[in-house]
Amino acid sequence: MDIRYRHEWKHFINYADLLSIRARMRAVAEPDPHAENGLYTIRSLYFDNLNDKALREKIDGVNMREKFRIRYYNGDTSFIHLEKKSRRNGLGTKYSAELTAAEAQKIVDGDTDWMRMSGRPLLEELYCKMKYQNLRPRTIVDYTREPYIYRPGNVRVTFDYDIRSGLSCTDFLNPDCVTIPVTDRAIILEVKWDDFLPSVIRDAVQTPGRRVTSFSKYAQCRIYG
């Protein structure tokens, strides 16, 4: 299997930065065609074990790490993905498999035996790790994303804000699950690219005084447990 790892920058920015970078991105890049009015909302359910393996590896900056999540967009539960994100030497890659809403609910409910013979390698891997590493649904993460695409270099630039935690609720298909803000109006600028970052994008996302950060929305949402 040809595994392609991508480069990634993350920056904390403020609202003035957002306005400035947004204007530059609109001049050189295109909005993600999947966005609605330039935005989409994301709901994810992250997995971890009782020892908080994924959380601690993130906080400790472990060089090779992974995390599993289930995700859907704009409240549309007809299109759900199981995803595994892996990082190695500061680069990231992502694996994905489709789920039905019924399958996602079974996983949330702890009904997992069907995953073993699903014929989808990623589901089978999650099944094994739920059995032998005791991975379990831990935290709902909600946020709004404003995405842009620059096709040379396969560059993706996003602004993420209104980050919210579901606290102890893991029933992420339930639209009535209450979520609360976890950051003080934080905005995260993310830049992802393959082999090279074109100078036009490098210039467009410049944020003087902002440093690359290892911000994790999952870790931030675990502040409350």
Please provide the size of the chain in residues.
225
Token pair 């490098």 is at which residue?
202
CA atoms 32, 88, 67, 131: torsion sign? positive
Q: What pLDDT tens digit does each residue of the chain (225 aa) get? A: 456 789 998 888 889 999 999 999 999 999 998 888 899 999 999 999 989 898 888 877 787 889 999 999 999 999 999 999 998 887 889 999 999 999 999 999 999 999 999 999 999 999 999 999 999 999 999 999 999 999 998 999 999 999 999 888 899 999 888 888 887 678 899 999 998 999 999 999 987 776 666 678 888 887 766
CB 160 within 8 A of CB 149: no
CA dihedral 197, 71, 94, 146 (to 10 degrees): 0
**Structure tokens that stand for 125 in this block:** 């891997």
Q: For residue 87, list its beta bridge partners.
A: 65, 92
Give, in order, the Cα–Cα distances in Å from 107 to each of 8, 62, 192.
30, 27, 30
pLDDT at 168: 80
107 Cβ contact partners less than 8 Å away, ≥ 6 residues apart: 70, 99, 115, 126, 137
Looking at residue 88, its amino acid is: R
Q: What are phi and psi of 72, to 5 degrees?
A: -145, 165
The pTM is what? 0.91
CA atoms within 13 Å, Cβ hemisphere of 27: 11
pLDDT at 83: 97
pLDDT at 225: 60
What is the C-alpha separation between 223 and 225, in angstroms, rounded?
Answer: 6
pLDDT at 153: 87
Q: What are phi and psi of 126, to 5 degrees?
A: -60, -40
Give, in order, the Cα–Cα distances in Å from 173 to each of 27, 61, 67, 85, 155.
37, 31, 20, 21, 31
